Amino acid sequence: MAIPGPDVVRALRGIVGDTHVLTEPDVAASYLTDWTGTWTGEAAVVRPADTAEVADVMRACAAHSVAVTPQGGNTGLVGGSTPTPGDDRPWVLLSLRRLDTVGDVDSQGRCVGAGAGATLASVHAAAAGAGLAFGVDLAARDSATIGGMVATNAGGIRMIRHGDTRAQVLGIEAVLPSGDVFTRWRPLRKDNVGYHLPALLAGSEGTLAVITRVLLRLVPAAARTAVALVGTVDVAAAQRVTRSIEASGRLIEAAEIMTRAGVDLVAAAGVRAPFDSGTTLLVETAGDTGDLSEALAAAGSDVVDAVVEAGPAREAWRLRESHTETIARSSTTPVVKLDVSVPLDRVQDLVDRVDRLAAAAGVRAVQFGHLGDGNIHVNLLDVPLDDQCTAADRVLRMVADLGGSISAEHGIGRAKAASVGLGRDDVDVAAMRAIKSALDPCGIMNPGAIFADP
């Protein structure tokens, strides 16, 4: 079944208009397969224009027990943005992309309201137009939407400086599964009246409500930035270099790590590093406190090679941001893609253990990520299909052993739903399920995401 019956489709067309309900497989296809290409579900695609239409769609879905998966830019990496493959209950893929308005920047209050479907790039542009900045950035900026970023609590390359997406949310408007509209919309920095529901919706991955608008905190734009690519022998040395730069009084805007395997892969695709090295650190700093070369000199023999650039340094960032797509194209089987964090003093240990595990299994490991946050993206390439679950499970258990998190920033989605127990204890999971049942008593919101269906 998957596509709701004719009566429901008629009702949905009555709400959003005929052209915004897609039921033909070839027309709906791009919405129904995720970015990684490994998750494909079936559903009618519904594209509302505003909050009122979202509310009416939710009322219709609730009345007919239709499952709903909200979707923004469909750049999620954990199979959360498309319906569960093979699940034949009636399902709606609710695309929020038409809710793409970005409001006027409030320069005094340092905030801006954005529709759930506004892209990250459009929010950056609006903030920059007012001489401010939005504190979260990631490579999928042209497609990822504000609704999706809040729903996944995206991290990204500036988290070390400004925190995650949750930390940028001042207010939210969301439609509950019942169709009721929840609004908390005050540009207040401090507001402690009871539970922080906007914070709860951040990271809820479409399982509690449909986010329709977000009031976002803005930050002062960095006055002057510098970027360095630094070659080091290993990850621990890169961490010492980062600390040394910090000690020089500069603000670290980003501290990203690339291991040899990833840099070589990206080089083969045409984006070359300026030197050969075991590990490459990309560090971006803000603040006018002298030449970055001096800070690097203070790091002594930990710096094996370095290229320092003033300004945005596009090539250095291209090297880092080419990783995801290059990795996806380079594996003979779907990439086993894990996104983990460990305490900062265990990062080297994690990277070494993953390399050893991959070597023993005869597969390639590409590790890179947000060093400053202890967040490593572990990618295992060429893993035979039958071995993929075991390979993922081994890495996630290793991370749990190291006191880390099995999901640092991409979320759980469907890809890691079976492993939630590795990251949270039974009481914790039961409390999360109780919240889910309270807000979504009929279980229509993105079933199978975060919690594996029985």
| Residues forming the site for ligand FAD (CB under 6 A) | 35, 69-77, 80-81, 96, 116, 138-140, 144-145, 147-149, 151-152, 154-157, 205-206, 210-211, 324, 409-410, 413, 446, 449
Is the Cβ of residue 23 or residue 333 nearer to ligand MLT in the bound state?
A: 333
Q: Tell me which residue has its CB nearest to ligand MLT.
A: 324
Residue 168: which of ligand MLT, ligand FAD, none does it interact with, CB under 5 to 8 A by kind?
Answer: none
Residue 377: which of ligand FAD, ligand MLT, none does it interact with, CB under 5 to 8 A by kind?
Answer: ligand MLT
Is the Cβ of residue 398 or residue 408 nearer to ligand MLT in the bound state?
A: 408
Is the Cβ of residue 119 or residue 242 nearer to ligand FAD in the bound state?
A: 119
Is the Cβ of residue 302 or residue 440 nearer to ligand FAD in the bound state?
A: 440
Is the Cβ of residue 74 or residue 248 nearer to ligand MLT in the bound state?
A: 74
Minimum gap (Å) between residue 308 Cβ and ligand FAD: 24
Residue 210: which of ligand MLT, ligand FAD, none does it interact with, CB under 5 to 8 A by kind?
Answer: ligand FAD
Minimum gap (Å) between residue 363 Cβ and ligand MLT: 17
Q: Does 164 contact ligand MLT by CB under 6 A?
A: no
Q: Tell me which residue has its CB nearest to ligand FAD.
A: 148
Minimum gap (Å) between residue 148 Cβ and ligand FAD: 2
Of 45, 111, 126, 139, which lies in the binding site for ligand MLT, with binding defined by CB under 6 A? 139
Q: How many CA atoms lie within 13 A of 88 on its CB side?
A: 1
Is the Cβ of residue 75 or residue 248 nearer to ligand MLT in the bound state?
A: 75
Residue of 404, 293, 275 lying closest to 339 (CA atoms): 404
Is the Cβ of residue 197 or residue 304 nearer to ligand FAD in the bound state?
A: 197
Q: Three-state SS across the chain? A: CCCCCHHHHHHHHHHHCHHHEECCHHHHHHHHECCCCCCECCCEEECCCCHHHHHHHHHHHHHCCCEEEEECCCCCCCCCCCCCCCCCCCEEEEECCCCCCECCCECCCCEEEEECCCEHHHHHHHHHHCCEECCCCCCCCCCCEHHHHHHHCCCCCCHHHHCCCHHHEEEEEEECCCCCEEEECCCCCCCCCCCCHHHHHCCCCCCCCEEEEEEEECEECCCCEEEEEEEECCHHHHHHHHHHHHHCCCEEEEEEEEEHHHHHHHHHCCCCCCCCCCEEEEEEEECCCCCHHHHHHHCHHHCCEEEEEECCCHHHHHHHHCHHHHHHHHCCCCCEEEEEECCHHHHHHHHHHHHHHHHHHCCEEEEEEEHHHCEEEEEEECCCHHHHHHHHHHHHHHHHHCCCECECCCCCCCCCHHHHHHHCCHHHHHHHHHHHHHHCCCCCECCCCCCCCC
Residue 80: which of ligand MLT, ligand FAD, none does it interact with, CB under 5 to 8 A by kind?
Answer: ligand FAD
Minimum gap (Å) between residue 233 Cβ and ligand FAD: 26
Considering only residues 360-379, where is the footprint of ligand MLT by CB under 6 A?
369, 377
Q: Does 250 contact ligand MLT by CB under 6 A?
A: no
Is the Cβ of residue 149 or residue 292 nearer to ligand MLT in the bound state?
A: 149
Q: Does 339 contact ligand MLT by CB under 6 A?
A: yes
> How many of the chain's residues bind ligand MLT (CB under 6 A)?
6
Minimum gap (Å) between residue 101 Cβ and ligand MLT: 27
Q: Identify the three-state secondary structure at position 64.
A: coil
Residues that bind ligand MLT (CB under 6 A): 139, 323-324, 339, 369, 377
